[in-house]
Amino acid sequence: MNTNTAANISTNIIIKIKVQSAGYEHGNYAKITLNDQEIGFENYSRGINIGVIDQTTGQPLFCTTFDTHADKNAHLAFTNFIHSLPPGSIVVIAVQDEASFLLSEAAKKVCQSLGSNLINNLKYRNYWAMIGQKGADPKTAQ
């Protein structure tokens, strides 16, 4: 799965974000690029891989992964992480291998708060990617 977008952020900077996600049986990988350069990860891993981009400068701020397949507390850590971000942060998510097994309803609601309309379609060992923004209206994520 590939998702591309160009975002015109608050300082009229145009950024190009590309997100790739593949479930276990569809290639088992994830990748996030910003302006054609991979951001921050040494290695992507199973679960929810997240890149956070500053909405003012277009610069990457954080990269992290939450293994919501094996770590029973990862969904809570993911939810708390998203809640800690400043409003307007651009959040890019790429699932690798599997992320649905221990993904709680609260974690799905956090994805909806980023504009996701499709998080409830995430199935076991399937792909899923999104580009959203903290505080976005529902159904606005790509």
Cα-only R_g, the chain = 14
In a domain, 119, yes or no: yes
* Mean pLDDT in residue range 53-69: 90
Q: Which pLDDT belongs to residue 89?
A: 92
Whether the CB-CB separation of 131 and 92 falls below 8 Å is answered with yes
Six-digit token pair at 64? Answer: 């992290």
Percent of the chain with pLDDT over 70: 92
Position 6 in a domain: yes
Q: What is the SS3 assignment for 98?
A: coil
- Backbone φ, ψ for residue 23 (5° rounding): -70, 180
**Domain tally for the chain?**
1
Structure token pair of residue 77: 């850590």
pLDDT beyond 60 at 52? yes
Query: Who's near 112: CB < 8 A, 6+ residues apart?
Result: 119, 138
Is position 80 within any domain?
Answer: yes
**Phi then psi dihedrals of residue 20, to 5 deg:** -125, 135
Structural domain contains residue 110: yes
> What pLDDT score does 99 carry?
87
> For residue 139, is it within any domain?
no
44 is a domain residue: yes
pLDDT of residue 23: 86
Residue 50 has pLDDT above 90, yes or no: yes
**98 located within any domain:** yes
Domain presence at residue 142: no
Give pLDDT tens digits for 17-34. 999 998 888 899 999 999
The confidence score (pLDDT) of residue 30 equals: 92
Look up the pTM and report it.
Answer: 0.87
Please report, rounded to a whole number, the percentage of residues in the chain having pLDDT higher than 90. 49
Mean pLDDT score of the chain, rounded to an integer?
A: 86
Which two three-digit tokens encode residue 130?
Answer: 């999104």
User: What domain range is 102 assigned to?
Assistant: 2-133
